Amino acid sequence: MFAQRMKNAVIAAHDAILGARVKQTYDANRRRHASPFAKGDLVYISTKNITFPRGTVRKLVPKFVGPYRILEDYRNNSFKVELPDRLKQRGVHPVFHASLLRIHIPNDDRLFPGRLETQVADFEEHEAEWAIDKIFSHSGQCTDSVFEIQWKSGD
Q: Note if the pTM is more than 0.85.
A: no
Together in a domain, 24 and 94: no
Residue 150 lies in a domain: no
Q: Are residues 120 and 56 in the same domain?
A: yes
Same domain, 6 and 56: no
Position with higher pLDDT, 110 vs 125 = 110
In whole angstroms, give the CA distance from residue 45 to residue 103: 9
Verify that 25 and 81 share a domain, yes or no: no
One domain, residues 89 and 112: yes
Q: Is residue 22 part of a domain?
A: yes
Question: By three-state DSSP, how is residue 49 classified?
Answer: coil
Measured from the Cβ of residue 139, the count of other Cβ atoms closer than 10 Å reads: 9
Q: How confident is the model at residue 65 (pLDDT cuts 50, 70, 90)?
A: confident
Angle in degrees, CA 3, 7, 10, rounded to 5: 140
pLDDT, tens digit, 9 for 90 and up, residues 129-143: 667 888 888 888 888
Report the alpha-carbon distance of residue 154 to residue 146 in Å, rounded.
19
How many domains is the chain built from? 2
What percent of the chain is predicted at pLDDT more than 70?
85
Examine residue 80 and state whether it is found in any structural domain, yes or no: yes
Sheet holding 95-97, edge to edge: 95-97, 78-81, 64-73, 42-46, 101-103
In this structure, are 28 and 75 located in the same domain? no
Q: Does 131 map to a domain?
A: no
- Looking at the chain, how many residues does it have? 155
Give tens-digit pLDDT for 7-32: 999 999 999 999 999 999 999 888 87
Indicate if 57 and 22 belong to the same structural domain.
no
**Whether 22 and 49 share a structural domain:** no
Same-domain check for residues 49 and 98: yes
* Secondary structure class of 21 (helix, strand, coil): helix
154 falls within a domain? no
pLDDT digits (tens, 9 = 90+) for 68-90: 999 999 988 899 999 988 888 77
Percentage of the chain lying above the pLDDT 90 cut: 35
Residue type, 151: W
Q: Same domain, yes or no, for 26 and 47?
A: no
- The pLDDT of residue 107 is 74
Q: Residue 3 is part of which domain span?
A: 1-32
Give the DSSP per-residue string, 73-123.
Answer: E-SSSEEEE---HHHHHTT--SEEEGGGEEE-----TTTS---SHHHHS--
